[in-house]
Amino acid sequence: MNAKQTIPMVTIVPAIIAAAPPILLIGGVVFLAWAIFSGGKKKPEIAPVNSGGNASAPSVPAPVPANYILIPAEKKFISRQDMEQIFAGGRGLTRKSAVAALIALGYGKTAAYKALAINGRFASWLQFAPDGIITWQN
């Protein structure tokens, strides 16, 4: 067959039809094997703990009482008195040491940095020197 000749469709279609049953048969066998060996549901990696002697009974958590109220922890805000306390006597502190002092009073690091920000809550009472020293102005 030279390059200018083409294969007529009449010869291609029967070849495809003849190849279809073995391909479908192999695909069906692979799918059936996957369905059998996959087991459907995944088993849990850790078996549930049964508290009783009956190993077949599942463990059920205790019911929560209807009057059970979850009380959130109190939020603590840095007050002006706290800031006056760490800058007592007009002493100047670096931002890092002022944050450490606020953390020692029981506040979080983020809250301490926000309180010592140039445009923070206490910006009108804080004085920021070019060398990094922060002082408290009453």
Predicted TM-score (pTM) of the model is 0.47
Mean confidence (pLDDT) of the chain: 79
pLDDT band at 78 (very low <50, low <70, confident <90, very high): very high
Task: Using a pLDDT cut of 70, give the percent of the chain over it.
Answer: 67
Residues of the domain holding 121: 80-136
Q: Which two tokens stand for residue 27?
A: 């695909």
Q: Decide if 68 is inside a domain.
A: no
Q: Decide if 111 is inside a domain.
A: yes
What pLDDT, on the 0 to 100 scale, is given for residue 26?
A: 87
Q: Decide if 25 is inside a domain.
A: yes
User: Under 8 Å CB-to-CB from 65, ≥6 apart: which residues?
Assistant: none
Question: Dihedrals φ, ψ of 133, to 5°?
Answer: -85, 135
Q: Decide if 2 is inside a domain.
A: no
Q: Decide if 11 is inside a domain.
A: yes
In 39-117, where does DSSP find H-type helix? 80-86, 95-104, 109-115
Number of domains in the chain: 2
Q: Decide if 67 is inside a domain.
A: no
Q: How many residues does the structure list for the chain?
A: 138
Q: Decide if 90 is inside a domain.
A: yes
What pLDDT, on the 0 to 100 scale, is given for residue 76?
A: 80
Give mean pLDDT, residues 109-134.
Answer: 92
Q: Decide if 131 is inside a domain.
A: yes
